[in-house]
Amino acid sequence: MICNMKTIIKEAANSNYIVPGFNVFGYEDAIAVVRAAEELNKPSLLMINKLAADYMPIEYWGKLLRAIAEDAKVPISVHLDHCKNFDLIIRAIKSGFSSVMYDGSQLPIEENIKRTKEITKVAKVFDVSVEGEIGSVPYADIPGHAKDLLTKVDDAVRFTTETNVDWVAVAVGQVHRLQHTKSEINFDILKEIQNNISKPIVIHGGSGIKETDLIKMTKYKVGKINVGTSLRMAFGEELKHQVIKNPEEFDRIKLFSEPSKAVIEVTKKMFNILDSNN
């Protein structure tokens, strides 16, 4: 069932679980995420980022992912992640996305607030949830693509108050796209932020956070965690294995079967880690 996740993520932030959002790049990993969510009876978000939006028109993504979400037996949101383009966000809203993220994290705070407010005003008319970001999470594989800037508590308070976003992404030491190392989370800053704002907190770079820290975050007012790299690694590694194992096979449907199962297992593991009620 399609859902904008506003209420569910707010409930999660005040409970002992976190809703995972998974960045997907096609039908195979998207349906794998939903199958895992259905098996465990968990809500989730199917998210696409700039790479996916550049690869295929946002209108196609909207039709594909919304159809998958509508048929799901659990609440699923279709979410546009890390978008800096106003027109693309409007196209996503018109294409059926149930939540969007405007990423103004590289701008001065005044400009970030101004542009995020504009997005929020439009999105609310269509009952679309909005995520904003204050502070900046760097990328492990793209040096200089984003600042490494921990979120300041005063900025978080001002940002959430003035923009009226539904969720706020913060930087507390995590890093996007970490593959083999883990980031060090500053829980002191995270605690100070949660004690001073009323909005659910979003953590990006979930694949690069230690399992023990993810579990610890379930005790904080974190409502959503983004996961992408671990899914791509699971799919890619198993696909390489299948190609080597079956050098004569050319049918992509057969070659994608085991990688899709690998994504299901990684997704189920993340669901269980983020639910301390387990």
Q: Which residue has the tokens 């990423």?
A: 103
255 located within any domain: yes
151 located within any domain: yes
Structural domains counted in the chain: 1
pLDDT of residue 151: 86
1 located within any domain: no
278 located within any domain: no
Q: Which residues are catalytic?
A: 81
Burial class of residue 187, CB neighbours in 10 A (0-12, 13-18, 19+): middle
Task: Give the start-end residues of each E strand in 205-265.
Answer: 222-227
pLDDT of residue 26: 93
101 located within any domain: yes
Number of Cβ within 10 Å of residue 73's Cβ equals 12
Non-local CB neighbours of 33 within 8 Å, separated by 6+ positions? 22, 24, 44, 46, 231, 263, 267
DSSP class of residue 261? H
142 located within any domain: yes
| pLDDT tens, the chain, 278 aa long | 998 899 999 999 999 999 999 999 999 999 999 999 999 999 999 999 988 999 999 999 999 999 999 999 999 999 999 899 999 999 999 999 999 999 988 899 999 999 999 999 999 999 999 999 998 776 655 555 556 678 899 999 999 999 999 999 998 878 756 556 677 888 999 999 999 999 999 999 888 889 999 999 999 999 999 998 899 999 999 999 999 999 888 899 999 999 999 999 999 999 999 997 76
**Owning domain of residue 109:** 6-272
β-sheet bridge partners, residue 193: none
CATH of the domain at 177: 3.20.20.70
277 located within any domain: no
